């Protein structure tokens, strides 16, 4: 019996530290979860803030890239489009006999525009519309925009 009384006394001594057992237990029960919630909140706030900053950075890059891409795919000037000569089509063996834009057949004597670099032929109306929004041949993608050449002979 004496042993059981001794163990109860030692337990009560551990719980009643200087008479503050209730306050200490209550404060630990409230403060620890509050601190945990506060740290979780701050972690997610930091995470969301960094995610928003990444999104803003990506959006700024996206808008500058789309502006750059839009400029690359803008058509050429109407003055340059009209400077492409109109010729009469003469179908030769092995030559294209179809406008690859409208897929219409080209017959001898039809008016066509011949692309300056690649010699592909198209109906004038078709290629004029194409070049209003593109700067290259619709078949081979040869660029019609003259690019400045560096001292080394490479396009800039």
- Nearest Cα to 113, choosing from 148, 73, 76, 146? 76
**Residue whose token pair is 């409208």:** 102
> What 8-state DSSP symbol labels residue 85?
P
Reported pTM: 0.47
pLDDT in tens, the chain (156 residues): 455 555 555 555 455 555 567 777 778 888 889 999 999 999 988 888 877 777 777 776 655 555 444 444 578 888 888 888 899 998 775 567 888 899 988 888 899 998 888 888 999 999 999 998 888 899 898 888 765 555 455 554
Identify whether the C-beta of residue 115 lies closer than 8 Å to the C-beta of residue 141. no
Q: Count CA atoms closer than 13 A to 149's CA, side-chain side.
A: 5
Identify whether the C-beta of residue 92 lies closer than 8 Å to the C-beta of residue 68. no
């Amino acid at each position: 019996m004496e042993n059981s009384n001794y163990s109860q006394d030692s337990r009560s001594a551990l719980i009643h530290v200087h008479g503050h057992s209730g306050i200490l237990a209550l404060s630990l029960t409230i403060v620890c979860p509050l601190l945990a919630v506060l740290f979780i909140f701050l972690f997610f706030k930091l995470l969301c803030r960094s995610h928003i900053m990444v999104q803003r950075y990506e959006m700024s890059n996206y808008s500058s890239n789309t502006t750059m891409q839009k400029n690359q795919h803008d058509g050429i000037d109407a003055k340059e489009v009209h400077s492409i000569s109109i010729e009469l089509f003469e179908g030769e063996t092995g030559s294209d006999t179809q406008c690859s834009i409208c897929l219409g057949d080209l017959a001898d004597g039809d008016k066509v525009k011949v692309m300056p670099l690649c010699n592909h032929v198209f109906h004038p109306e078709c290629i004029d519309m194409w070049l209003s929004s593109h700067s290259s041949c619709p078949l081979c993608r040869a660029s019609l925009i003259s690019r400045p050449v560096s001292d080394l002979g490479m396009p800039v």
